[in-house]
Amino acid sequence: MSDPLTVALVTWLLAAVDGSAAVALQGGLAGVGEVVFGALLWLLDQWYWLMDWVYYVTGVEMLNPRYRYMHRAVLVGLCVGVMAPLIGTFLVHRQLALIGDALAHTAFAGVAVGLFLNAVIDLGVSPYLTAVVVAMIAALFIELISETTDAYNDVSMAIVLSTGFALGTTLISLNAGGLAVGVNQFLFGNLSTVSPQSAAILIVLFAVIVGTVAVTRNELLYVTFDETAAEVSGIPVNWYNRVMVMLTAMVVVGAMQIMGVILVAAMLVVPVAGATQVSRSFTESLVVSVVLAELAVLLGIGVAYYGGVTAGGVIVLVAVGIYICAVGIGKLQSARGEAETPEMGTIETDGVEVDAGTGGD
Amino acid sequence: MSENIIDPATAADTSAASDAEASGPIVDLSGVTFGYTATPVIEDVSLTVDSGEYVAIVGPNGSGKSTLMRLMLGLLGPDAGTARLFGADADRFGDGERVGYVAQQATAAEEMPITVREVVKMGRFPYVAVGNLPAEGSGVDDLFEDPIGTTRRTANAVSGRLTDADWAIVDDALTTVGMSAFADRRIGQLSGGQRQRVFIARALAGEADLLVLDEPTVGVDAESVDAFYDLLDALNDAGITVILIEHDLGAVVEHADRVVCLNREVYFDGPADEFVESDALARAFGTGARFLAGGAE
């Protein structure tokens, strides 16, 4: 039962990587890449049109049709607000909150690799694309280490994190020419540099992430909650862990555009931590964390635009503010909820349906 | 390797085999040896558990009880010997839903926002996995006849949504363990004993034939422990095979039908009453061991 599923997942992930590779190499590759990229640009046009409408109806200056980059930034922000807490929920409850940080720093190495290749052999790929590839390799590497050593440990995570960042800074200083200037955009994120190309990459990442979670949410939940029981029930736990870390790598790179390397992990953790305080069920916590993240992203982008400050920092500050409110609300809720305790029912085994020993004695 | 050669007889027999298996032993270990390092933790253990039995596995700390359980369940593969579960190779066993597993404490259970009902729901996951797309009502022909219904069924199956029938089973399982009133509580708010009942309910929701419990009463208050064992007795009477790993010898002697005393190898395997009279305990544990409560009194 499990084998076809894993095969399907792997082919899907591979297809997804191929798909996004085609987007970036569209200059060189005719055919499929061209078509996919065209479709994504068409999608982007529809988004512009929608944003124009919102502008005419509401008159929000931020969405003025002259500022196409803001339209793209809002799109990226909305997507990040969905996919980061979606993945973050599964990570936080496995005490893996810091893996996002580790992967973001390796993604920075990926950016450096991209910039380096572009400068040296004039490859012409988007640095975000090399970042996806490098971060996903690093993610798999972390997962394989943890599988062989039987634990995710702080030490291996810290080593991967600093190796990534060290590699990035080294590569960048190697051909320092015009590169050092462009690095800030990746370190801290930037609303105004979201190009149509990187928005297209993000849409692909978004589709892959949301699609994968939609199909595998049961298994991911089981593995997150109780890994051993999940394994006993026949779920190939290692495969789902690998899928999970690779999705994390994708989210990190997707969110990097507006959040920057240093702050991207916050989007995986802070809204989820807030949602955990106020929600009772897992489904509720997923929905609430997405709502909180969207709130933080939209408020943050707004403040950043009108206040002329870096979006990434503001978004995180807003998210932390929301988290503090959530803690307060959670405390109030539990103070009021403690009052009634339901009676524990009696054990009724008459109704148990047992198939055991059908052919037995 | 020879395993890659498909034996047509076996391939054709797979479905028929599952019926035939029911009459054989549920757990069948023969000559199993396993070690995490060169030193074996389990050495030459042979053990069969038949349908409907209530078996307790006891032994001192570090005696390999949990390792033996992991070998039975196929979470580990033996270094030597064979481990079979429901007649199939344990580490390649596909019908995971037939086994319910209850651990000491689930790791994430404390802080994770998840309700009792959502935990019990997990027992149904193997039944709603992508591979279990219903054969009828989801073909291409049906797409033309009933496009909306077929699409909905397929979407539900792909996204693993539980049907009403699945939810009814979940609620029944909660009633069985007496936790219906807590269905919408966060699992972290429950006491240890209540939480273990919920995990039993999860196994029941999975319609498990075999219940494997790894020291389930650690950190559970005495009163709840009694209720918990009553529940296990009742489930065993209803026909579920129970394998219990336990350090509380008193409880074991009182409730289990059969005791396996383990310390790297099997020291005793037989009815619980005989275990009390035998010297297996002293040999396996060293001389200081006593029955802590219950049966020996």
Domain architecture of chain B: domains with CATH = 96-128+162-247 (3.40.50.300)
Q: Which domain holds residue A106?
A: 2-336
Q: Is the pLDDT reported for residue A5 higher than 80? A: no
> Which pLDDT does position A90 carry in this prediction?
93
What is the distance in angstroms between the Cα of B253 and the nearest Cα belonging to chain A?
22
Report which of B284, B217, B212, B277 is spatially closest to residue B247, judged by C-alpha positions: B217
Please count the CA atoms within 13 angstroms of the CA of A245 that sit on its side-chain side.
29
Q: Is the pLDDT reported for residue A357 higher than 50? A: no
* Closest CB to B125 among A8, A219, A285: A219
Q: Is residue A113 part of a domain?
A: yes
Q: Report yes or no for ipTM above 0.85.
A: no
Contact of B209 with B26, CB cutoff 8 Å: yes
Q: Which residues of A touch B111 (CB under 8 A)?
A: 93, 276
Share of chain A above pLDDT 90, in %: 28
Kindly indicate the confidence band of residue B255, based on its pLDDT and cuts at 50, 70 and 90: confident
Provide DSSP, A171-192: HHHHTHHHHHHHHHHHHH--GG
Which residues 6+ apart lie within 8 Å of A15 measured at CB?
none
Q: B89 CB near a chain A CB, below 8 Å? A: no
Q: Is residue A221 part of a domain?
A: yes
Report which of B102, B109, B104 is spatially closest to residue B186, judged by C-alpha positions: B109
> Which pLDDT does position B12 carry in this prediction?
39
Give the C-alpha separation, B11 to B223, whole Å: 51
Q: B223 CB near a chain A CB, below 8 Å? A: no
Q: How many structural domains compose chain A?
A: 1
Share of chain A above pLDDT 70, in %: 81
Kindly indicate the confidence band of residue B278, based on its pLDDT and cuts at 50, 70 and 90: confident
Write out residues 283-312 of A within 8 Å (CB-CB) of B: 283-285
Give the C-alpha separation, B106 to B37, whole Å: 27
Write out residues 93-152 of A within 8 Å (CB-CB) of B: 93-95
Write out residues 102-141 of B within 8 Å (CB-CB) of A: 102-103, 106-109, 111-115, 117-119, 122, 125-126, 128-132
Element (H, E) at B102: strand B99-102
For A222, nearest residue in chain B (alpha carbons): B122
Kindly indicate the confidence band of residue B19, based on its pLDDT and cuts at 50, 70 and 90: very low
φ/ψ region of A99 (left if φ > 0, alpha if ψ in -120 to 50, else beta) reads alpha
What is the distance in angstroms between the Cα of B293 and the nearest Cα belonging to chain A?
24
pLDDT digits (tens, 9 = 90+) for A143-201: 888 888 766 667 778 888 889 989 988 888 876 655 555 677 788 888 877 888 888 88
Give the C-alpha separation, A20 to B121, whole Å: 36
Q: Is residue A141 part of a domain?
A: yes
Q: Is residue A71 part of a domain?
A: yes
Element (H, E) at A317: helix A311-337
Kindly indicate the confidence band of residue A252, based on its pLDDT and cuts at 50, 70 and 90: very high
Q: How many CB atoms lie within 10 A of CB A164?
A: 24
For A349, nearest residue in chain B (alpha carbons): B176
φ/ψ region of B100 (left if φ > 0, alpha if ψ in -120 to 50, else beta) reads beta
CATH of the domain at A221: 1.10.3470.10
pLDDT digits (tens, 9 = 90+) for B116-138: 999 999 888 888 765 555 555 55
Interface test with chain B among A277, A292, A352, by most B beta carbons within 10 Å: A352
What is the distance in angstroms between the Cα of A275 and the nearest Cα belonging to chain B?
9
Number of residues that this document lists for chain B: 297
